[in-house]
Amino acid sequence: MSIKASYLASELVRVCGSWVETPSKEILEHVGTVEILEHVGTITDHLLTAANGVPTDIVEQIHEIPESTWYLAWEIFHEVTSGKLIPPLVGLAEVAEILDWDRRKVATYIKRGSLPEPIQRLRSGPIWTRKQIAEYQERIQK
């Protein structure tokens, strides 16, 4: 099974995305510079592990992923983390669909402050990232 660049990029963003504005020295200190540089492998090998929640298929095939796929994945990563790509957004209707609620229930939860804070409130209504709602859905299903 070949790993698609977009799939690999999504994991790079998830694992490394929060470090985009962090100076390299701090990243290396966080990851363990000496350990990484003295042992076999690259920083990416050490970040893309099952311990960091990376799917098994990526972990098991990390050294078999073609260079062209890595290159494209890092290009996507840079576009996403530099703000060039907009994450998937959802409004009231999509939230209702995702949560399998009617729109009135979503509106009630918004008024109660029970839903995540929207990233923006437009005249047409609040908008969230799909990820915010997916994470909320996971929390309420536990």
- pLDDT of residue 57 exceeding 90, the answer is no
Mean pLDDT across the chain: 76
- pLDDT of residue 33 exceeding 60, the answer is no
For 83: left if phi > 0, alpha if psi spans -120 to 50, otherwise beta; the answer is left
Helix H or strand E encompassing 127: strand 125-129
- pLDDT of residue 58 exceeding 50, the answer is yes
Q: What is the dihedral of CA 136, 140, 141, 142, to 10 degrees?
A: 110
- pLDDT of residue 48 exceeding 80, the answer is no
Tokens 């907009």 found at: 86
Segment 15-23 mean pLDDT = 60
- pLDDT of residue 113 exceeding 50, the answer is yes
Task: Let me know: does 78 contact 117? Beta carbons within 8 Å.
Answer: no
- pLDDT of residue 55 exceeding 90, the answer is no
pTM of this prediction exceeds 0.85: no
Q: What Å distances lie between residue 98 and 51, 132, 141, CA to CA?
A: 29, 11, 13
Segment 74-101 mean pLDDT = 83
- pLDDT of residue 19 exceeding 70, the answer is no
Q: How far apart are CA 136 and CA 48, in angstroms?
A: 25
CA 13 to chain centre: 5
CA 140 to chain centre: 20
- The pLDDT assigned to 17 comes to 67
Comparison of pLDDT for 116 and 70, the residue scoring more: 116
